[in-house]
């Protein structure tokens, strides 16, 4: 598979010497540039469709992918590992369940996988559901220490979002948001259309209130435009057991209804956000342009959607150097056992800002 990231100098590379200033108190010499602490620039997002199952079967291949791409941060959705806490007791969504023999064995599988190369150089944050459902993880290289990590779209709350759908890492110059958006479903019910509308409303409020440039990634469970699905007519006319919603805008495949797509477009415009992949890739790519693929057997064979994203603030747009979808074809090459493949983003280094020169 093609390598999408360019090699970077190893830590400890000699820095270029600066010319000595003519006058330390001012004068016409330029002031030294203010350097920020090094921050993550290479990111991967992946819906693992059960991280535990991937660790048991497809982990060596995924480790090779991580070693090759060398991301600073890996955001995972649908980890499907239950939170710590015995039956009937309060749960701790930041810790893995280990109160039964089977959960202890599963926890050891996870810990071994994340303590072996290349993951021994990373630290992981969890936001887990009460059961083997949903959940997210954010895996960050240890040399990059977030200023704060939170687990709720209301960043002042200490609670985790229901089902562990959100992790937010704050760095000096940006926020990194990892989300697993709820599926729209097929019906006008509390856990279907209504749940997704509430989610989209909260996401709109969040992006309008962020106080730093945003990098938003994850399984967003929406294909924004027709170019983002392999077969627009198939997805537009999809039904579950022949049911047709009363509102025409709610008809079709979850993730490709007009109502979801319009709400998503509004979130992008109101939040002044840019779809990083589409910013670089303007044309439809039937081979490598989709991050989710239907089951290779049955009516969804060959039916694919782009529902995994990197969305960035307009202020970061000019720093996007690559955004790639790493799976291809209808046989799920590069999906590592999941029905989603990894998506990567690389940003260029932030331009140094010179401090104002103060003259006498």
Note the helical H segments in the chain.
Answer: 51-57, 59-69, 101-114, 193-209, 232-236, 258-270, 276-280
How many CB atoms neighbour CB 229 within 10 A? Answer: 25
Residue corresponding to tokens 């479903």: 185
Per the structure block, which two tokens stand in for 101? 């023999």
- 339 is an annotated ligand-binding site residue: yes
Residue 221 marked as a ligand binder: yes
Q: In sequence order, which ranges of 273-344 are alpha helices (DSSP H)?
A: 276-280
Q: Where are the alpha helices (DSSP H) in 16-118?
A: 51-57, 59-69, 101-114
- What stretch of H or E contains 92? strand 92-96
The answer to the question of whether 152 is labelled as a binding residue is no
DSSP string, 41-70: -EEEEEE-SSHHHHHHHTHHHHHHHHHHH-
Per the annotation, does 231 bind a ligand?
no
| Active-site annotation holder among 72, 160, 180, 228 | 180
Q: Is 47 annotated as a binding-site member?
A: yes
- 230, HSE (Cβ side, Cα atoms, 13 Å): 18
Catalytic-role residue among 72, 130, 219, 250? 219
| 231 noted as active-site residue | no
Catalytic status, residue 219: yes
Measured between alpha carbons, how far is 313 from 2 in angstroms, rounded to an integer?
27
Is 261 in contact with 200 (CB distance < 8 Å)? Answer: no
Contact 260, 348 (CB under 8 A): no
* 72 marked as part of a ligand binding site: no
133 tagged catalytic = no
> Which residues line the annotated binding site for Mg(2+)?
47, 78, 219, 221, 339-340
- Catalytic residue ranges: 180, 219, 340
């Amino acid at each position: 598979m093609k390598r999408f990231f360019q090699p970077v100098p190893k830590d400890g590379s000699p820095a270029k010497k600066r010319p000595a200033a003519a006058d330390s108190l001012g004068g016409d010499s330029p002031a030294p540039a203010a350097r920020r602490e090094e921050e993550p620039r290479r990111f991967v997002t992946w819906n693992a469709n059960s991280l535990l199952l991937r660790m048991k079967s497809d982990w060596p291949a995924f480790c090779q992918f991580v070693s090759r791409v060398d991301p600073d941060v890996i955001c995972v959705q649908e980890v499907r590992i239950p939170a710590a806490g015995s039956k009937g007791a309060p749960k701790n969504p930041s810790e893995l369940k280990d109160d039964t023999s089977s959960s202890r064995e599963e926890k050891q599988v996870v810990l071994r996988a994340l303590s072996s190369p290349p993951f021994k150089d990373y630290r992981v944050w969890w936001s887990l559901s009460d059961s083997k459902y949903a959940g997210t993880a954010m895996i960050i290289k240890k040399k990059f220490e977030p200023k704060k990590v939170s687990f709720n779209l209301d960043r002042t709350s200490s609670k985790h979002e229901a089902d562990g759908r959100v992790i937010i890492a704050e760095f000096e110059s940006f926020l990194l948001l990892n989300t697993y958006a709820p599926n729209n479903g097929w019906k006008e019910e509390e856990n279907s259309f209504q749940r997704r509308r509430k989610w989209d409303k909260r996401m709109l409020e969040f992006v309008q209130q962020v106080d730093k440039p945003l990098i938003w990634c994850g399984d967003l469970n929406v294909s924004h435009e027709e170019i983002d699905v392999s077969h627009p007519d198939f997805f537009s006319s999809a039904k579950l057991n022949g049911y047709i919603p009363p509102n025409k805008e709610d008809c079709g495949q979850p993730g490709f209804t007009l109502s979801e797509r319009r709400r998503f477009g509004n979130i992008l415009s109101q939040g002044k956000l840019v779809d990083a992949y589409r910013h670089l890739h303007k044309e439809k790519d039937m081979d490598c342009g989709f991050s989710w693929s239907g089951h290779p057997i049955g009516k969804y064979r060959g039916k694919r959607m782009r529902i995994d994203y990197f969305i960035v603030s307009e202020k970061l747009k000019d720093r996007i150097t690559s955004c790639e979808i790493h799976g291809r074809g209808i046989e799920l090459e590069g999906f590592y056992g999941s029905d989603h493949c990894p998506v990567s983003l690389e940003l260029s280094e932030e331009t140094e800002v010179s401090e104002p020169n103060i003259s006498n």
